[in-house]
Amino acid sequence: MKTLLFDIETRPLLSYNWGVYEQNAIKVVEDWGILCFSWKWLGEKKTFVETIENQSEEKLIKKLHKLFDEADVIIAHNGNKFDLKKSNAKFLQYRLTPPSPYKRIDTLLVARQNFSLTSNKLDDLGELLNVGRKVKHPGFEMWEGCMRGEAKWWSLMKKYNKQDVVLLEKVYLALLPWVQNHPNYQWFMDEKGKHCCPNCGSEAYQKRNLEKRLNYLIRRLHCTDCGKWFYGEKVKKV
| pLDDT at site 184 | 87
Question: Per-residue pLDDT tens for 89-137?
Answer: 999 999 999 999 999 999 999 999 999 999 999 999 999 999 999 999 9
Domain 3-178 top-level CATH class: alpha beta
| pLDDT level of residue 193 (50, 70, 90 thresholds) | low
| pLDDT at site 231 | 85
In this prediction, residues 47-61 reach a mean pLDDT of 97
In this prediction, residues 132-149 reach a mean pLDDT of 96
Contact present, 104 and 112 (Cβ < 8 Å): no
| Domain(s) of CATH 3.30.420.10: residues in the chain | 3-178
Chain centroid, CA 117 distance in Å: 19
Residue 187 pLDDT greater than 80, yes or no: no
Least confident of 74-88, 119-133, 208-222: 208-222
| pLDDT level of residue 235 (50, 70, 90 thresholds) | confident
**pLDDT: which is higher, 189 or 138:** 138
Beta bridge partners of 217: 212, 236
Buried b (16+ CB within 10 A) or exposed e, 135-166: beeeeeebbebbeeeeeebbebbbebbbbbbb
Q: Which of 148, 153, 9 shows the shortest CA–CA distance to 87?
A: 9
Describe the crossing of helices 151-175 and 107-114 by its angle, rounded to 10 degrees: 40
